[in-house]
Chains A and B, each alone.
Chain A
Amino acid sequence: MTMTTVTSKANTTAPSQVLASTNVQMAAAAILGMVVLMGVGFAPMDVAHNAAHDTRHSFAFPCH
Protein backbone atom coordinates (compact mmCIF):
# COMPACT_ATOMS: atom_id res chain seq x y z
CA MET A 1 0.00 0.00 0.00
CA THR A 2 2.67 2.44 1.04
CA MET A 3 4.81 1.38 -1.91
CA THR A 4 2.02 2.17 -4.38
CA THR A 5 1.48 5.66 -2.95
CA VAL A 6 5.15 6.54 -3.10
CA THR A 7 5.49 5.30 -6.69
CA SER A 8 2.48 7.22 -7.98
CA LYS A 9 3.66 10.38 -6.18
CA ALA A 10 7.08 10.09 -7.76
CA ASN A 11 5.59 9.58 -11.20
CA THR A 12 3.38 12.65 -11.10
CA THR A 13 5.71 15.18 -9.47
CA ALA A 14 9.20 14.11 -10.40
CA PRO A 15 10.19 15.80 -13.71
CA SER A 16 9.70 19.49 -12.87
CA GLN A 17 10.78 19.09 -9.26
CA VAL A 18 13.92 17.22 -10.24
CA LEU A 19 14.79 19.88 -12.82
CA ALA A 20 14.24 22.73 -10.37
CA SER A 21 16.19 20.90 -7.72
CA THR A 22 19.07 20.26 -10.15
CA ASN A 23 19.20 23.93 -11.11
CA VAL A 24 19.28 24.97 -7.46
CA GLN A 25 22.03 22.46 -6.71
CA MET A 26 24.15 23.63 -9.65
CA ALA A 27 23.75 27.26 -8.61
CA ALA A 28 24.63 26.34 -5.02
CA ALA A 29 27.71 24.40 -6.20
CA ALA A 30 28.97 27.31 -8.31
CA ILE A 31 28.32 29.82 -5.49
CA LEU A 32 30.13 27.63 -2.95
CA GLY A 33 33.09 27.43 -5.35
CA MET A 34 33.16 31.20 -5.78
CA VAL A 35 32.91 31.88 -2.04
CA VAL A 36 35.86 29.58 -1.30
CA LEU A 37 37.89 31.19 -4.11
CA MET A 38 37.08 34.66 -2.80
CA GLY A 39 38.18 33.69 0.68
CA VAL A 40 41.51 32.26 -0.44
CA GLY A 41 42.33 34.61 -3.28
CA PHE A 42 40.69 37.94 -2.53
CA ALA A 43 39.84 38.36 1.17
CA PRO A 44 41.46 41.67 2.20
CA MET A 45 42.31 40.71 5.81
CA ASP A 46 46.06 40.60 6.47
CA VAL A 47 45.87 37.13 7.99
CA ALA A 48 44.10 35.69 4.90
CA HIS A 49 46.57 37.49 2.62
CA ASN A 50 49.62 36.24 4.50
CA ALA A 51 48.42 32.63 4.70
CA ALA A 52 47.56 32.41 0.99
CA HIS A 53 50.29 34.80 -0.26
CA ASP A 54 52.24 32.40 -2.50
CA THR A 55 49.03 30.87 -3.87
CA ARG A 56 47.69 34.32 -4.81
CA HIS A 57 50.92 35.16 -6.66
CA SER A 58 51.02 31.75 -8.38
CA PHE A 59 47.47 32.07 -9.75
CA ALA A 60 48.27 35.67 -10.78
CA PHE A 61 45.47 36.96 -8.55
CA PRO A 62 45.98 40.68 -7.87
CA CYS A 63 48.04 40.84 -4.66
CA HIS A 64 49.60 43.59 -2.43
Chain B
Amino acid sequence: MFRSMVIAALAIALVAGLVLSAVQALHVSPIIYAAEVFEIAQPEVTAAFHDGHSHTHNDEAWAPTDGFERVGFTILSNVLSAFGFTMILLACMFVARDKAELNISWLSGIFWGLAGYLTFFVVPALGLSPEIPSMEAAAIEGRQSWWFLAVMATGLGIASLIFLPGITKGVALVFIAAPWIVGAPHPETTGFLHPDAQAVATLEGLQSQFVFATALANGLFWIVLGSLTGYVAKRFIKA
Protein backbone atom coordinates (compact mmCIF):
# COMPACT_ATOMS: atom_id res chain seq x y z
CA MET B 1 0.00 0.00 0.00
CA PHE B 2 2.83 2.40 0.87
CA ARG B 3 4.29 1.95 -2.60
CA SER B 4 1.00 2.73 -4.33
CA MET B 5 0.56 5.79 -2.09
CA VAL B 6 3.98 7.12 -3.15
CA ILE B 7 3.27 6.54 -6.85
CA ALA B 8 -0.20 8.11 -6.59
CA ALA B 9 1.19 11.08 -4.65
CA LEU B 10 3.85 11.69 -7.32
CA ALA B 11 1.18 11.79 -10.05
CA ILE B 12 -1.13 14.05 -8.01
CA ALA B 13 1.79 16.32 -7.08
CA LEU B 14 2.78 16.69 -10.71
CA VAL B 15 -0.70 17.92 -11.68
CA ALA B 16 -1.34 20.11 -8.62
CA GLY B 17 2.24 21.44 -8.70
CA LEU B 18 1.91 22.43 -12.37
CA VAL B 19 -1.46 24.12 -11.75
CA LEU B 20 0.12 26.08 -8.91
CA SER B 21 3.15 26.91 -11.07
CA ALA B 22 0.91 28.35 -13.80
CA VAL B 23 -1.06 30.58 -11.41
CA GLN B 24 2.17 31.50 -9.64
CA ALA B 25 3.93 32.47 -12.88
CA LEU B 26 1.02 34.74 -13.84
CA HIS B 27 0.06 36.33 -10.53
CA VAL B 28 2.55 35.62 -7.73
CA SER B 29 6.12 35.55 -9.06
CA PRO B 30 5.85 38.95 -10.85
CA ILE B 31 5.18 40.54 -7.43
CA ILE B 32 8.23 38.78 -5.90
CA TYR B 33 10.44 39.95 -8.79
CA ALA B 34 9.14 43.51 -8.49
CA ALA B 35 9.84 43.61 -4.74
CA GLU B 36 13.34 42.16 -5.18
CA VAL B 37 14.42 45.22 -7.13
CA PHE B 38 14.11 47.23 -3.92
CA GLU B 39 15.79 44.53 -1.81
CA ILE B 40 18.96 44.66 -3.89
CA ALA B 41 18.97 48.45 -3.88
CA GLN B 42 19.12 48.87 -0.09
CA PRO B 43 21.38 46.26 1.54
CA GLU B 44 23.01 48.66 4.05
CA VAL B 45 19.63 49.79 5.42
CA THR B 46 18.33 46.28 6.12
CA ALA B 47 21.67 45.26 7.61
CA ALA B 48 21.60 48.18 10.03
CA PHE B 49 18.13 47.37 11.30
CA HIS B 50 18.51 43.63 11.54
CA ASP B 51 19.73 43.37 15.11
CA GLY B 52 19.10 39.90 16.46
CA HIS B 53 18.43 38.57 13.01
CA SER B 54 20.63 35.50 13.19
CA HIS B 55 19.77 34.32 9.71
CA THR B 56 22.21 35.55 7.10
CA HIS B 57 22.66 34.58 3.52
CA ASN B 58 26.01 33.88 1.99
CA ASP B 59 26.22 35.82 -1.27
CA GLU B 60 28.65 33.24 -2.62
CA ALA B 61 26.13 30.37 -2.32
CA TRP B 62 24.76 28.88 -5.49
CA ALA B 63 21.44 30.28 -6.71
CA PRO B 64 19.56 29.55 -9.93
CA THR B 65 20.05 32.23 -12.56
CA ASP B 66 17.00 34.35 -13.29
CA GLY B 67 14.81 33.09 -16.10
CA PHE B 68 14.54 29.49 -17.20
CA GLU B 69 16.68 28.02 -14.42
CA ARG B 70 14.93 29.88 -11.60
CA VAL B 71 11.46 29.01 -12.94
CA GLY B 72 12.55 25.38 -13.36
CA PHE B 73 13.68 25.08 -9.73
CA THR B 74 10.48 26.81 -8.59
CA ILE B 75 8.35 24.29 -10.51
CA LEU B 76 10.40 21.42 -9.04
CA SER B 77 9.99 22.87 -5.52
CA ASN B 78 6.24 23.30 -6.08
CA VAL B 79 5.86 19.68 -7.19
CA LEU B 80 7.97 18.39 -4.27
CA SER B 81 5.93 20.45 -1.80
CA ALA B 82 2.72 19.14 -3.37
CA PHE B 83 4.10 15.60 -2.94
CA GLY B 84 4.73 16.27 0.75
CA PHE B 85 1.23 17.68 1.27
CA THR B 86 -0.34 14.77 -0.67
CA MET B 87 1.43 12.10 1.41
CA ILE B 88 0.16 13.75 4.61
CA LEU B 89 -3.35 14.10 3.14
CA LEU B 90 -3.45 10.46 1.97
CA ALA B 91 -2.38 9.20 5.39
CA CYS B 92 -5.05 11.34 7.11
CA MET B 93 -7.75 10.24 4.62
CA PHE B 94 -7.04 6.52 5.10
CA VAL B 95 -6.84 6.80 8.89
CA ALA B 96 -10.16 8.71 8.92
CA ARG B 97 -11.70 6.06 6.68
CA ASP B 98 -10.48 3.15 8.81
CA LYS B 99 -11.14 4.69 12.26
CA ALA B 100 -14.17 6.88 11.61
CA GLU B 101 -15.63 5.31 8.46
CA LEU B 102 -15.27 8.57 6.57
CA ASN B 103 -16.00 8.10 2.89
CA ILE B 104 -13.23 8.90 0.37
CA SER B 105 -14.22 10.55 -2.93
CA TRP B 106 -13.30 13.54 -5.06
CA LEU B 107 -16.08 15.47 -3.30
CA SER B 108 -14.93 14.69 0.24
CA GLY B 109 -11.45 15.42 -1.11
CA ILE B 110 -12.48 19.03 -1.69
CA PHE B 111 -13.30 19.34 2.01
CA TRP B 112 -9.96 17.73 2.87
CA GLY B 113 -8.36 20.30 0.56
CA LEU B 114 -10.15 23.15 2.33
CA ALA B 115 -8.96 21.76 5.67
CA GLY B 116 -5.42 21.69 4.26
CA TYR B 117 -5.80 25.28 3.02
CA LEU B 118 -6.94 26.44 6.47
CA THR B 119 -4.21 24.46 8.23
CA PHE B 120 -1.20 25.17 6.04
CA PHE B 121 -2.03 28.61 4.64
CA VAL B 122 -4.94 30.61 6.09
CA VAL B 123 -4.27 30.33 9.83
CA PRO B 124 -0.44 30.68 9.61
CA ALA B 125 -0.93 33.65 7.24
CA LEU B 126 -3.32 35.36 9.68
CA GLY B 127 -0.44 35.53 12.17
CA LEU B 128 2.48 35.94 9.77
CA SER B 129 1.31 37.81 6.70
CA PRO B 130 2.68 36.41 3.40
CA GLU B 131 5.95 38.27 2.92
CA ILE B 132 7.50 39.82 -0.13
CA PRO B 133 11.29 40.29 -0.32
CA SER B 134 12.61 43.39 1.51
CA MET B 135 9.82 43.29 4.11
CA GLU B 136 10.87 43.55 7.74
CA ALA B 137 10.32 40.37 9.74
CA ALA B 138 11.29 38.85 13.08
CA ALA B 139 14.11 36.26 13.31
CA ILE B 140 13.46 33.32 10.99
CA GLU B 141 13.67 30.67 13.76
CA GLY B 142 10.87 32.27 15.79
CA ARG B 143 8.64 32.62 12.75
CA GLN B 144 9.24 29.03 11.69
CA SER B 145 8.43 27.77 15.22
CA TRP B 146 5.21 29.78 15.31
CA TRP B 147 4.31 28.51 11.84
CA PHE B 148 4.69 24.90 13.06
CA LEU B 149 2.61 25.67 16.14
CA ALA B 150 -0.14 27.25 14.02
CA VAL B 151 -0.18 24.29 11.60
CA MET B 152 -0.21 21.61 14.30
CA ALA B 153 -2.83 23.42 16.39
CA THR B 154 -5.12 24.09 13.41
CA GLY B 155 -4.84 20.50 12.17
CA LEU B 156 -5.60 19.09 15.63
CA GLY B 157 -8.40 21.65 16.09
CA ILE B 158 -10.15 20.63 12.86
CA ALA B 159 -9.66 16.92 13.66
CA SER B 160 -11.12 17.42 17.18
CA LEU B 161 -14.17 19.22 15.79
CA ILE B 162 -14.88 16.47 13.28
CA PHE B 163 -13.88 13.26 15.05
CA LEU B 164 -14.38 13.78 18.79
CA PRO B 165 -17.85 12.95 20.15
CA GLY B 166 -20.29 15.41 21.75
CA ILE B 167 -18.97 17.92 24.22
CA THR B 168 -15.35 16.76 23.87
CA LYS B 169 -15.33 18.69 20.58
CA GLY B 170 -14.72 21.68 22.87
CA VAL B 171 -11.04 20.66 23.00
CA ALA B 172 -10.83 22.23 19.54
CA LEU B 173 -11.12 25.66 21.17
CA VAL B 174 -7.88 25.08 23.06
CA PHE B 175 -6.07 24.10 19.86
CA ILE B 176 -7.50 27.01 17.88
CA ALA B 177 -6.61 29.51 20.62
CA ALA B 178 -3.08 28.19 21.31
CA PRO B 179 -1.16 29.99 18.52
CA TRP B 180 -2.84 33.30 19.44
CA ILE B 181 -2.11 32.92 23.14
CA VAL B 182 1.55 32.37 22.27
CA GLY B 183 1.41 35.14 19.64
CA ALA B 184 3.18 35.33 16.29
CA PRO B 185 6.63 36.95 16.46
CA HIS B 186 6.84 40.40 14.87
CA PRO B 187 9.83 42.71 14.36
CA GLU B 188 10.22 45.94 16.35
CA THR B 189 9.76 47.92 13.17
CA THR B 190 7.16 46.58 10.79
CA GLY B 191 6.74 47.32 7.11
CA PHE B 192 9.58 48.49 4.86
CA LEU B 193 12.71 50.42 5.76
CA HIS B 194 13.56 51.67 2.30
CA PRO B 195 14.78 55.29 2.52
CA ASP B 196 12.66 56.43 -0.43
CA ALA B 197 9.00 57.13 0.51
CA GLN B 198 7.89 56.43 -3.05
CA ALA B 199 9.56 53.01 -2.90
CA VAL B 200 7.86 52.24 0.43
CA ALA B 201 4.47 53.14 -1.08
CA THR B 202 5.19 50.86 -4.05
CA LEU B 203 6.27 48.01 -1.74
CA GLU B 204 3.16 48.41 0.41
CA GLY B 205 1.01 48.17 -2.72
CA LEU B 206 2.91 45.06 -3.81
CA GLN B 207 2.48 43.56 -0.35
CA SER B 208 -1.33 43.83 -0.38
CA GLN B 209 -1.44 42.46 -3.93
CA PHE B 210 0.76 39.59 -2.74
CA VAL B 211 -1.62 38.66 0.10
CA PHE B 212 -4.53 38.38 -2.36
CA ALA B 213 -2.49 36.58 -5.02
CA THR B 214 -1.13 33.96 -2.61
CA ALA B 215 -4.54 33.48 -0.95
CA LEU B 216 -6.12 32.73 -4.34
CA ALA B 217 -3.22 30.62 -5.65
CA ASN B 218 -3.09 28.50 -2.48
CA GLY B 219 -6.89 28.11 -2.37
CA LEU B 220 -6.97 26.85 -5.95
CA PHE B 221 -3.95 24.62 -5.29
CA TRP B 222 -5.57 22.98 -2.25
CA ILE B 223 -8.92 22.40 -3.98
CA VAL B 224 -7.16 20.73 -6.93
CA LEU B 225 -4.89 18.75 -4.59
CA GLY B 226 -7.73 17.65 -2.30
CA SER B 227 -10.19 16.58 -4.99
CA LEU B 228 -7.50 14.77 -7.01
CA THR B 229 -6.23 13.01 -3.89
CA GLY B 230 -9.77 11.89 -2.99
CA TYR B 231 -10.40 10.65 -6.52
CA VAL B 232 -7.09 8.80 -6.86
CA ALA B 233 -7.25 7.33 -3.34
CA LYS B 234 -10.68 5.83 -4.05
CA ARG B 235 -9.97 4.69 -7.61
CA PHE B 236 -6.36 3.49 -7.55
CA ILE B 237 -5.16 2.70 -4.03
CA LYS B 238 -6.40 -0.65 -2.78
CA ALA B 239 -6.35 -1.43 0.93
Contact = CB atoms under 8 A, between A and B. Distances in A.
Contact of A36 (B5, B84, B90): B84
Given A27-B91, A44-B55, A36 B133 contact: no
A63 B32 CA distance: 12
B133 A57 contact: yes
Nearest to A63: B131
Contacts of A17: none
Nearest to B138: A62
Contacts of A51: 63-64, 73, 76-77
Interface residues of A, number: 36
B230 to A, nearest CB: 16
B175 to A, nearest CB: 18
Interface stretch (B100-108, B119-127, B159-167, B195-203): B119-127
A35 to B, nearest CB: 8
Nearest to B71: A54
A3 B116 CA distance: 46
Contact of B61 (A22, A34, A41, A46): A46
A25 B120 CA distance: 23
A20 interface: no
Contact of A22 (B1, B6, B62, B120): B1
Contact of B83 (A28, A36, A47, A63): A36
B78 A22 contact: no
A32 B214 contact: no
A59 B120 contact: yes
B19 to A, nearest CB: 12
Given A46-B57, A50-B64, A64-B137, A58 B80 contact: no
B24 to A, nearest CB: 5
Interface in B75-134: 76-78, 80-81, 83-92, 94-95, 98, 120-121, 124-125, 128-133
A51 B94 CA distance: 33
Interface centre among B57, B76, B87, B121 (most CB of A within 10 A): B87
Interface of B: 1-2, 5-6, 9, 20, 24, 28-29, 32, 55, 57-58, 61-64, 70, 73-74, 76-78, 80-81, 83-92, 94-95, 98, 120-121, 124-125, 128-133, 137, 140, 143-144, 147, 214, 217-218, 239
Interface of A: 22, 25-30, 32-37, 39-42, 44, 46-47, 49-64
